[in-house]
Amino acid sequence: MNDHTFTLEEELTLYQVAQVQKDLLQAFEQGCRRFNLGHINTLDGAGVQLLLALVKTASAQEEAIEWTEVSAETRHVFAELGLEPLTHTDIPITRTPT
Amino acid sequence: MSDDISDSTLDMFLEEAGLMLTDFEQALLAMASASSDIETLNSAFRAAHNIKGTAGMFGFDRVVEFTHEVEALLDRMRAGSQDINETAVELLLQCLDQIQRLLGELSEPEQMAPNAERSRHLMQQLAALKKGGSAPPPVAAEKASPTVMPTAPTQVPEWLIWVRFGTDTLRDGYDPLSFLRYLDQVGTIQQVAPLTDHIPTLVELDAQGCQMGFALRLQSTASAKTIRDAFAFVADSCTLKVVPAPFSVATLQAELQSIEKDSPRVEHVLREIGVWPSAPNSRTDLPPIPHNATEDDLESLFNSIQQGQTPTTSVAPPSNPSVPQPKQTPAAPVIPATPPAAADHTPTKAQRKKPAAREKKPEESRYIRVPADKLDDLISQIGELVIAVSSAQIVAERHNIPEFSEIAQRLDKLVEGARDHSLRLRMVPVGETFSRFKRIVFDVSRTLGKEAELIITGGDTELDKSMVEQLIDPLTHLVRNALDHGLEAKEERLAQGKHPCGQIRLNAYHDAGAFVIEVSDDGRGLARERILSKAIERKLIPADSKLADEQVWNLVFLPGFSTAEQVTDLSGRGVGMDVVKRNIEALRGEVNLFSEPGAGSMVQIRLPLTLAIIDGFLVEVAGSHFVLPLDGVEECIAMPDLACPHPNAANYFELRNTVIPLLCLRRHFRLNAAPPRRYSVVIVRHGSQRVGLLVDRLHGEHQTVIKPLGRLFNRVRSISGSTILGSGSVALILDIAALLADASTLHTPTAPSISQSNPLSSHAE
């Protein structure tokens, strides 16, 4: 694990997920476990799915990740999907809620 | 855009996109009306989504990017987080125009730069509207009760909705979140749980594929069908279960075991959303299904439930410690809600295997789109066939072979049927074309600051498609003219005791083998004195002219005529009405104007039903053959004692106490030949006028394939086309309207006039 924080950009939608997937994977493989969701202002189902895949990746490797910040839009969307447990910051996340 | 798209594919796409834009426009205009409902909004969303999806398939990235923003706004409206008001609808209509421009870039690449600027500007406006929209509704979780189940019984039915989306859902442009938001409009989401177990790790993830799903408890008075319809866009690809309360273990397992194999997980999710009962409450309640149950075990379990037995299972208990164990959540009682009457939730196994969405397919595939060229070729071939059969009949008659005559007659009937059917293929209801004028009325009335509504009647009336297309420009001008000059300003209308909202009416109907369109308004009507003085001022008529109202109204069709006090962007430049008349006449039609001061005006257009083949009535005059459109023929009378009237004689005769003008075709066309032993009179009608045509011989009904006349004959009056007879000779098709006009000029003033009723009173209601 390194101290690096990976910051996601403003939009995380179908149009960005393919590229962000590569970036996230690379960051994760380099030991990054802290992710900043504070800048996200547009998030759709594809974006949520990507974030859940990130959690799954950590879980599969018995690692924990954490969000340093979670934007209001992200909280809103997570809450809509019943993913409130994923809205906390600075708490290690080890698995997807369901 | 992809370079490898063939022209024909692209044409097909553009045509398809045009239809989608029409649907979109109609939905947006409906949204602007007071009677708008959720289905209208859905139609607009569906249209925008389809445009985006189809454009994406063809690589129109600029269209996709722009339409995505439009779709997002509509989605917010569906979710209730965006107000639907006039400002929003007007912006969406502007966006629609922009999509049309972006699609047009293919033929006008020089428009790319200005279009990009327009797109950017409109996207900014969309974003501003989004920011200024009403506050988003509370999210499901905020609204959900902290307890798993409501403690008090509720009368609002509850539903379990379990959905897993198809892999291509995201790629097809659908966002699972949209469905969730839409469901929150159909009812109130009580609790939701994501189905994340199919989502793999980052390495394995297909980021644009969808592996998500969700389960939720919805409180709604909507029917099962309405709830299912929320997923209509993805019905073919998603796995969906809609289960009404009361929720029993048996019901839940029976419903879900066919789509979910991981029973403990299912139970866990159901407990999370509060639909898993805590204790058996009926003899069919079942123990939890072991996670390692095989399909056979589940099948057996299912059969037991179907037979009302308490099943037993020999499957080993779960041994995998990694499988999440059900939480010991508080008891979840069976909800005492009455299941909606519309839903029958005891389907047979066979019924469950037949998704509702697939049942819609036969309905959707009832239509085949065929290029118009192919229909033209078919009709052309049928035309040749008509002539060939006619030749066969002549040969059969000439050689007097009964069997041959019989076959020729049968062939004639069959060809007649084929002709009618093939012509019908080209006939389209005019309603679709009429609908596009809603936008013109919407835009122009706003520009003019007037209130106006468009009332369409007779939209089902059919007309040859090629004619419909050629009618668009003249009708556009007439509608704009009615808005600009016909309707008064709001204050003026109120002062006259009229409703502030003016009416423009588009009406279509069939009349005596003709297609009639009327464009009317309830405005101020035409100003007779102003028209007359303007015509005199422009030396269009002598200063001492004494004209009937009808003649005065028709002065406005003269080139360059305009009485508009103020020239506007819309009309009043004195061009247009003459072009309208010319366009209609080019379609073998005629146009008339009726007006009543203070009550409004009406432009009536009469057109032949088709330009290809007609049922004709064949007559002979001095050895030449003529065809009259059969629909205009009223009756035939043999007149043995009547000689061809002398040019100076009265050109009329009396028929059953009615005086009818008489036109001698022999003299009219200056045909010289020995007179027949006796004449016949064919009474023809056009609108409310009748005339008797004096002919030498009647040949009877004749299928007539219309062949256009060469340019040389453009100035020949009374003849609208030609046809080839079975014998190979040519017959001329008579233009009844022109013949009537000629008869009127020959008509002596002493003859009683045939009154023409004012169509304003009969059709403008």
- In tens, the pLDDT along B273-303 reads 888 765 443 333 334 434 444 444 434 433 4
pLDDT at B721 over 50: yes
The shortest C-alpha distance from B104 to chain A (Å) reads: 25
pLDDT of residue B603: 93
Q: Does B148 touch chain A (CB under 8 A)?
A: no
Least confident segment among B33-37, B409-413, B563-567, B687-691: B563-567
CB pairs under 8 A between A and B: 106
The CA distance from B300 to B311, in Å, is: 8
Copy the structure tokens of residue B351.
């019924």
Query: Mean pLDDT, to the nearest integer, of B8-37?
Result: 78
**Residue in A49, A52, A98 closest to B193 by CB:** A98
pLDDT at B155: 64
Q: A27: nearest CA in chain B?
A: B202
CA dist B157 and B161 (Å) reads 13
Mean pLDDT of B201-229: 89
> Which residues in chain B have Cβ-Cβ distances shorter than 8 Å to A25?
202-203
Higher pLDDT, B239 or B114: B239
Closest residue to A79, CB basis, from B142, B210, B211: B142
Q: Name the 3-class secondary structure at B270.
A: helix
Asked if the model's pLDDT at residue B52 lies above 70, the reply is: yes
Does the beta-carbon distance from B194 to A98 stay under 8 Å?
yes
Per-residue model confidence (pLDDT) at position A27: 94
Contact B613, B706 (CB under 8 A): yes
Please give the average per-residue pLDDT across B520-530, as a whole number: 88
Residue B81 scores a pLDDT above 90: no
Q: Which residues of A touch B269 (CB under 8 A)?
A: 98
For residue A24, list chain B residues with Cβ-Cβ distance below 8 A. 202
Q: Does pTM top 0.80 for this prediction? A: no
Interface test with B, best of A19, A20, A56, A81 (most B CBs within 10 A): A81
Nearest to B651 by CA among B736, B749, B734: B749
Question: What value of ipTM does the predicted structure carry?
Answer: 0.93
Q: Which helix (H) or strand (E) holds B690?
A: strand B689-695
Distance from CA of A25 to the nearest CA of B (A): 6
Q: Is B181 on the interface with A (CB under 8 A)?
A: yes
Query: Taking Cα atoms as reference points, which of B72, B274, B330 lies closest to residue B159?
Result: B274
Nearest CA in chain A to B171: A14
Q: Which of A18, A25, A50 sits opposite B203 (nearest CB)?
A: A25
Is A45 in contact with B210 (Cβ distance < 8 A)? yes
Highest mean pLDDT among B36-40, B62-66, B196-200: B196-200
- H helices present in B499-603, as ranges: 528-537, 549-553, 577-586
Determine the average pLDDT of the residues in B84-103. 87
Is the predicted pLDDT of residue B360 greater than 80, yes or no?
Answer: no
Most confident of B36-45, B218-227, B717-726: B218-227
pLDDT at B644 (0 to 100): 54
Mean pLDDT, range A73-80, rounded to an integer: 90
What pLDDT, on the 0 to 100 scale, is given for residue B207?
92
Percentage, residues of chain B above pLDDT 90? 9
- The answer to whether residue B192 neighbours chain A at the CB level (below 8 Å) is yes
Is there a contact between B660 and B692 (Cβ–Cβ < 8 Å)? yes
% chain B with pLDDT above 70: 75
pLDDT at B369: 76
Of the listed ranges B163-172, B291-300, B579-588, B676-685, the least confidently predicted one is B291-300
Contact assignment for B199 to A80 by CB distance below 8 Å = no
How much is the pLDDT for B640? 55
Mean pLDDT value of segment B665-689: 84
Contact B326/B304 with Cβ under 8 angstroms? no
> B454 or B315: which carries more pLDDT confidence?
B454
pLDDT of the residue at B611: 63
Nearest to A82 among B136, B141, B170 (CB): B141
pLDDT higher than threshold 60 for residue B124: yes
Residue with tokens 């969405």: B357
Instruction: Measure in Å the smallest separation between the Cα of A8 and chain B Cα atoms.
Output: 15
Instruction: Choose between B219 and B564: higher pLDDT.
Output: B219
Backbone phi, psi, residue B452, to 5°: -150, 150
Tell me the per-residue pLDDT of B295-345, one tens digit each, with 9 for 90 and over: 444 344 334 433 434 333 333 333 333 333 333 333 333 333 333 333 333
Record the tokens describing residue B372, joined without a space.
């118009």
Residue B481 predicted with pLDDT over 60: yes
- pLDDT at site B712: 73
CA atoms within 13 A on the CB side of B13: 23
User: Between these two residues, B91 and B579, which has the higher pLDDT value?
Assistant: B91
What is residue B282's predicted lDDT score, i.e. its pLDDT?
Answer: 37
Q: Please state which of the ranges A33-42, B317-326, B690-699 shows the lowest mean pLDDT.
A: B317-326
pLDDT in tens, B365-403: 567 777 778 888 888 888 888 888 888 888 888 888 888
Mean pLDDT lowest among B513-517, B539-543, B569-573: B569-573
User: Do A98 and B272 lie within an 8 Å CB cutoff?
Assistant: yes
Q: What are the strands, taking DSSP E only, across B62-196?
A: 158-164, 188-195
For the segment B575-583, the average pLDDT, to the nearest whole number, is 77
Confidence of residue B714 (pLDDT cuts 50, 70, 90): low
Contacts of B176 in chain A (CB under 8 A): 45
Question: B1: exposed, middle or buried (C-beta count within 10 Å: 0-12, 13-18, 19+)?
Answer: middle
Would you say residue B610 has pLDDT above 80?
no
Q: What is the mean pLDDT of the segment spanning B159-173?
A: 90
- pLDDT higher at B111 or B222: B222
Alpha-carbon gap: A95 to the closest alpha carbon of chain B (Å): 10
Which single residue is written with the structure tokens 């403008």? B764
Residue showing tokens 């023929």: B633
Specify the pLDDT at position B342.
34
Mean pLDDT of chain B: 74
Residue of chain B with shortest Cα separation from A23 = B202
Provide the shortest C-alpha distance from residue B167 to chain A (in Å): 11
Question: Phi/psi of residue B332, each to 5°?
Answer: -110, 100
pLDDT given at position B40: 81
Residues B48 and B68: beta-carbon distance below 8 Å: no
Q: Determine phi and psi for B449, rounding to 5 degrees.
A: 70, 30
pLDDT reported for residue B547: 83
Concatenated DSSP letters for B490-522?
HHHHHHTT--SEEEEEEEEEEETTEEEEEEEE-
B119: closest CA of chain A, how far (Å) = 19
pLDDT at B760: 34
Contact status, residue B586 vs residue B511, Cβ threshold 8 Å: no
Using alpha carbons, select from A91, A98, A92, A2 the residue that is nearest to residue B214: A98
pLDDT of residue B214: 92
B576-590: average pLDDT: 81
pLDDT band, residue A18 (cuts 50/70/90)? very high
Residues B199, A56: C-beta atoms closer than 8 Å: yes
Q: Of B118-127, B244-253, B333-342, B705-714, which one has max mean pLDDT?
A: B118-127
Give the SS3 label for residue B333.
coil
Chain A residues closer than 8 Å to B140 by CB: 79-80, 82
Mean pLDDT of B414-423: 84
Give the range among B340-354, B626-640, B676-690 with minimum mean pLDDT: B340-354
Taking residues B349-355, report their average pLDDT: 36
Q: Distance, in angstroms, between A22 CA and closest chain B CA?
A: 8
> What is the pLDDT, as a whole number, of residue A35?
93
